[in-house]
Amino acid sequence: MTDMTANELVKKLNSIGTCMFTTVDQNHRIVSRPMGVTEIDDQHKFWFFTPLNSDKIEDIIGEGEVNLSFVDSHTWVSIAGSAQVIADLERKKELWDLGPKAYFEGGPEDPNAVLIEVTPETAQYWEGPGKAAALVKMAKASLSSETPNMGDQGRVEL
């Protein structure tokens, strides 16, 4: 198993770009929705634009605990952390790009455009060989007494 550094993990997450953003709603149900990451900053905080009137805002204000799940063809990452709503105009201007521009007609000054800042607490990753290679490894292992090596896994301090 190879240990992944925080910077290596952030690089992978930036290439994936979209995650399932999971909150706990007011009825204590787990709710997930896809969201594009606007930025992962130097302190490894995750930034997202969202409408102020979205359900996730109420979930964050209520509990604040979130999970971000990222997946590509060979990598799975689960990040648990705490979230807060940020309405800072200067920060919105710094992060403004094509993504939020498509959703908020009023630009960064749009009062319905807010940021969610997620401070990660734990990060776990799994890297596998991909579907075809995994099938070959499982088939080979089923014909022998060996357990297949299905990739690396680990925790990263962010």
Of the candidates 72, 150, 78, the one whose C-alpha atom is nearest the C-alpha of residue 118 is 78
Residue 63: pLDDT band by 50, 70, 90 thresholds? confident
* Residue-by-residue DSSP string for 23-85: EE-TTS-EEEEEEE--EE-TT--EEEEEETTSHHHHHHHHT-EEEEEEE-SSEEEEEEEEEEE
Helix (H) or strand (E) holding 114: strand 113-127
Which has more pLDDT, 12 or 128?
Answer: 12
In Å, the largest CA–CA distance within the chain is: 63
Whether the CB-CB separation of 56 and 50 falls below 8 Å is answered with yes
Q: What's the token pair of residue 158? A: 């962010």
Residue 90 Ramachandran class (φ > 0 left, ψ -120 to 50 alpha, else beta): alpha
The reported pLDDT for the residue numbered 69 is 98
The reported pLDDT for the residue numbered 128 is 75
Residue 73: pLDDT band by 50, 70, 90 thresholds? confident
The reported pLDDT for the residue numbered 156 is 72
Straight-line distance from the first to the last Cα atom of the chain, in angstroms, rounded to the nearest whole number? 19
